[in-house]
Amino acid sequence: MYKSTKFIFVTGGVLSSLGKGLSAASIGALMECRGLTVTLLKMDPYINVDPGTMNPFQHGEVFVTEDGAETDLDLGHYERFTHAVLRQKNNFTTGQIYDSVIQKERRGEYLGATVQVIPHITDEIKDKIRNLGNGVDVAIVEVGGTVGDIESLPFLEAIRQLRADLGPQNVLYVHVTLLPYVKASGEVKTKPTQHSVKALREVGIQPDILICRTEKKVTRDIKEKIALFCNVRPEEVIAAEDVDCIYEVPLKFHEEGLDQKIIELLNIWTRAPLLDEWKSFIEGVHSLKNEVTIGIVGKYVDLHESYKSLNEALFAGGVHNKAKVNLKFIDSELIEKQGLRDEFDDVHGILVPGGFGSRGIEGKIRAVQYARENLIPYFGICLGMQVAVVEFARNVCGMARANSTEFDPATPYPVIHMMDEQRSITDKGGTMRLGTYECIIEPNTRAFEIYSKKVIGERHRHRYEFNMEFRGNLGAKGLKPGGLSPDGKLVELVEYSDHPWFVGCQFHPEFKSRPMEPHPLFASYIGACVEHKKRLFRNEAAFAGASEEKEIREEKLRKLRPKGRKLGIVVKSTKEAPSGSGHKR
């Protein structure tokens, strides 16, 4: 039944971070614009079962799917560029493949055979790829890593075999490579691409289409040279020049003829692509009227990929409000060590994202306090909600040593504590509260105003929660739940009523935000930041106007008063003043 599905395999060469994920997502977007159904898969060559326990500095963001899988951040690109809702089966690793094969061997499923990379590992990979294709027109599969890496060889062998298994009309190979520009000679060089294709052909794969990343224009002569040495036609060499906005990529690929070439090579009949929505969105991106700066306070700020979905959700919220969103990443450890200086002088909103561990926590708490006291829009996500609760308990409710038991197990005010079902768990990987859970929005709250519905579903990734024993104390001072779990035992949203916009959520709304369908929380938050900036300008204008009016009034008084008099000061002649006396007010 999978034979009706067409498979597109995306590989990468020369170096990492070329944009294989964005290329795969953009192909998916173009196929959808032609009326086809798509799904996408990322195959990662590392031995970890999933990226859930990996340091964000090494791997970047962990993207959580609807069914609770902790996956590669490229799945976030896939969901933002297409309408596909991805699950556990849309991302697997070398670790998962070997684990599955070993478990089968232990159960005796190989009937005493010697278990080897070929055919047992490659067969396991192929089975997962085939199962992905059920029920869709096109399955786009990204092979992680770079051609030439030892770790990715079993994946390359598996996709090589699939062309023979499924037929050449059902399999397409797209290779993403680099055309570096050498400034000294003023030339775009094709040799790295030639060598990358050579390495791919050595493992038995001839790419059908080349996507060439470049910062300079690719001329017809360059395409013909690449085609000659890489055994493709010039029209199968797609230039991928750098763009200002990643959501321009599908339109640029269409201009290069990529989608037309794909359907020709796969022998698919489709309608002409409907690209109006993408074009309209990009026009909106290039005509933003406002501009706001958001201070993101975290400890992974040196690698912006750690907050990839968050960054894109803020961007989408900005476009919705016709505002360019500038992201200012602020290291919470520096605030902790040096105190607050001028970090927030130029921001119009403060956001504390998710995270784990005690490092930098006190800096985040100070950031929350600054936002609350200075009436700056505040958005806390996951850990960001938890530190908001801690700050409020300490500084508003008088619970001086309030804390989360994650950071201080002996705190007398455990306003955040471990969930009951997590207390007996010892394994770290894949054991948190993961995936989509329902939340019941409380009536007459900001949350209900934002969502405009009573029941929502949001994705989670946490072990600690709001301690319901303190709900009454915090609520009496104004920090109230905006949403609860269906059984009423877990607080999913908190909000502070005596503030222009102060919201914390235990879930991760950034995972469900898409460029043309921004998440309601982000749309509302950026709107509040725009209004905050307008208030600042109005206050500054009023202050400037009052100062100018005062100067004009003083100037008129100076012209009217007799010589020797100053406003509010009586000046006596030195002859009349006693020796040693001074002027008096």
What residues are annotated to the active site? 382, 508, 510
Eight-state DSSP code of residue 356? -
Place of tokens 């709107």: 527
The Cα 166–Cα 281 span in angstroms is 38
The Cα 385–Cα 491 span in angstroms is 10
Eight-state DSSP code of residue 430? T
Query: Which three-class secondary structure state does DSSP give residue 97?
Result: helix
**How far is residue 50 CA from its own chain's centroid?**
18
Q: In the structure encoding, which two tokens stand for residue 56, read together?
A: 């964000």
The dihedral sign for the CA sequence 458, 464, 470, 474: negative
The per-residue DSSP string of 170-221 comes to GEEEEEEEE--EETTTTEE--HHHHHHHHHHHHTT---SEEEEEESS---HH
**Beta-ladder partners of 466:** 416
The per-residue DSSP string of 228-292 comes to HHHTS-GGGEEEEE--SSGGGHHHHHHHTTHHHHHHHHTT---PPP--HHHHHHHHHHTT--EEE
Q: HSE on the CB side for 408, CA within 13 Å?
A: 16
The Cα 250–Cα 248 span in angstroms is 6
Apex 385 CA angle, 370 and 433, nearest 5: 160
Q: HSE on the CB side for 70, CA within 13 Å?
A: 23
